[in-house]
Amino acid sequence: MSWFKKLFTKAAPTKHLTNSNSGKSFDEMFSDLGVFVYDNEGFTVTYEDFTKRLDWTDITQINVYKVDQYTVDRIDMEIVYGDKAFTISEELPGWYQFVLKIKDVFPTIPKDWDMEIVQPAFASNYTTIYDKEKC
């Protein structure tokens, strides 16, 4: 790789593909499986250099909260499995179908959590929507 290309790559990093910059309509984003692949036992999420396979039965807790981004809020979801966790956000392609899927897989998850968390604006509204120990 030439020095010019290396310099340009660092000066103009590649944009991450998100729901916001995908160019898709809301209906297209809503129906898109995005970075998720599902099977009967669980799911695999692959995004850029991150890949995680997780069985539904391994999930011990799901926490949701909002992150204040000054002019808007972003909804994040922390998926806990044992003593480990990873976080996804509503910007991740496939988010909407993942939210529907977890509501189906875990019937104790409140069906309206994603509507309730948005108010009030700019408050984190940290909520545990699934806790395996309480089921």
Q: Residue 2: inside a domain, yes or no? A: no
Backbone phi, then psi, for 80, in 5-degree steps?
A: -100, 135
Tell me whether residue 37 is in a domain: yes
Asked if residue 122 is part of any domain, the answer here is yes
- DSSP state string for 4-35: HHHHHHHHSPPPPP-STTS---HHHHHH--TT
DSSP track, 30-84: HH--TTEEE-SSEEEEEETTEEEEEEGGG--EEEEEEEE-SSSEEEEEEEEETTE
Domain count along the chain:
1
Is the residue at 94 inside a domain?
A: yes
pLDDT digits (tens, 9 = 90+) for 24-53: 786 787 778 889 999 999 999 999 889 999
- Structure confidence by residue, pLDDT tens digits, 86-111: 999 999 999 999 999 999 999 999 99
What pLDDT is attached to residue 87? Answer: 95
Site of tokens 């409140």: 110
123: domain CATH number is: 2.30.29
Question: Would you say residue 92 lies in a domain?
Answer: yes
pTM (two decimals)? 0.82
Contact at 8 Å (CB) between 88 and 24? no
- Which residue segment(s) compose the domain that 102 sits in? 17-134
Residue 9 lies in a domain: no
Q: What is the pLDDT of residue 54?
A: 97
Whole-angstrom CA distances from 74 to 52, 108, 117, 124 are 22, 24, 11, 10
